[in-house]
Amino acid sequence: MRTDSSPGPLPAREHLPATDARTPVLDVVIPVHNEEKDLQPCVLRLHEHLTRTFPYPFRITVADNASTDATPRVSARLEERLAEVRAFRLEQKGRGRALATVWSASDAPVLAYMDVDLSTDLNALLPLVAPLISGHSDLAIGSRLARTSRVVRGAGREFISRSYNLILRGLLQARFTDAQCGFKAVRRDVAQVLLPLVEDSGWFFDTEMLVLAERAGLRIHEVPVDWVDDPDSSVRLVRTATDDLKGVWRVGRALATGSLPLDRLTRPFGDDPRDRELTGVPMGLARQLLGFCVVGGLSTLFHLLLYSVFRGFSGSQTANALALLVSALANTAANRRLTFGVRGRAGAVRHQAQGLVVFGIGLVLTSGSLAALGTATDSPGHSTELGVLIAANLAATVLRFLLLRAWVFPERREHGTPVAAREAAYPSTTHPVRAGAAGARTTWGDATRPHDTDQGDLR
């Protein structure tokens, strides 16, 4: 995954200020590859709609991905004919590459894109970008799978779309409903920080961007759309599906290992008017307690399951020690990431070592409880052993939270950021970039974005 440098943490959301007519508020990008027939009708229809209905200055950017037909000439004619149209040429294919290149260089505060076939009804465009202009949301997507959407397409594509979104929900815990609808928008300040983390340059670009944004806690607004399938679409379904599944695996692995610095995408506390600082409660304590309780409950069940397995071939003390050791390692890793928000590998070994010390204290509590039970009765029942372990684990859990919060992951802060989380997420001033992923953002004049392999043809 990319770990390019970025402008830093996101500021609080604000309503976009009024601008003069020379500065576009919205930049709509249309990525194309060999679309000489559909490009002009698409741009003219979109331009007419925006001129008639959109209350702010706008721009339409045609991003040509290495077309070999007359698409570049059509783009040039449209640029000459319409003052709000810009033509941009890339020498490599890839929808994600086109969007990242144009979005990274755009000066418009709201960035959007749509497919050249205009399958999505344009009446959804203003509702799509309005939450971004108002400062309510960070990203916005059109959804064909919302209850009030009206969609006309074949059963095969419907099945593939719903199956893909089920995979995202099951493997990446995605909560948005439609990852691949070609109708999305993002605030420029969010794009500047988010795009360097997105690795894919093809069709998976949308999904990766949304998953990372959602995991970082950014607000994604969904708009039900009216959508009619394009029967002449040139998308290669098998190849696109294969590449998407590879992308799901890659992103899922990166999220599981904590190799993505998602802290830079978080909004400051208090950005949401519902956020209120509680008197006498340290920052983050309520969230940490909730996360710790969830992790602790799962760890207790995991410990009891392991104990039952190990008890089948060992004594109670050995089974308890083995079960507690394995569950303690898992518990420390889960609390490190989910409860205390520490990402990255820096300090992980030290945290596990400190966690083992906490484990030793828990072992003394639980083993002492079993020893006391053995003294009280010669042959305690299995259910009695489990009951004693549950009570001992509850006491050990309270002590574990206090030690994790005060010793393993202390809440010392520098400039509002927990030191443990900051050091783990940003171990040095420069982030290492894996081989083959050199370069940060692309500019209009000098395309310095990494040249990834083609991930599928554009429509």
Catalytic residues: 206
| DSSP symbols for 207-248 | HHHHHHHHHTT--EEEEE-EEE--TT----HHHHHHHHHHHH
d(CA 444, CA 75): 16
Tokens of 325: 């050791």
Which pair of tokens denotes residue 411?
Answer: 């809440």
The two tokens of residue 331 are 């518990």
Q: Please report which helix (H) or strand (E) contains residue 77, including its range.
A: helix 71-81
Structure tokens at 361: 């204290």
- Per the structure block, which two tokens stand in for 3? 């770990």
Question: What is the CA 237 to chain-centroid distance, rounded?
Answer: 24
Q: Amino acid letter at 174?
A: A
What percent of the residues of the chain are helix, what percent strand, and what percent coil, each to the nearest 5? Answer: 50, 10, 40
User: Which amino acid, one-letter code, is at 294?
Assistant: V
Give the residue carrying structure tokens 């590459």: 97
Going by C-beta distance under 8 Å and a sequence separation of 6 or more, which residues neighbour residue 9? 193, 263, 264, 265, 266, 268
Q: Which tokens belong to 243?
A: 């590449």
Q: If residue 374 lies in a helix (H) or strand (E), which one and from where to where?
A: helix 348-376
The Cα 343–Cα 220 span in angstroms is: 23
What Å distances lie between residue 230 and 38, 119, 151, 154, 223, CA to CA? Answer: 11, 7, 12, 10, 20
Rounded Cα distance between 417 and 429, Å, is 15
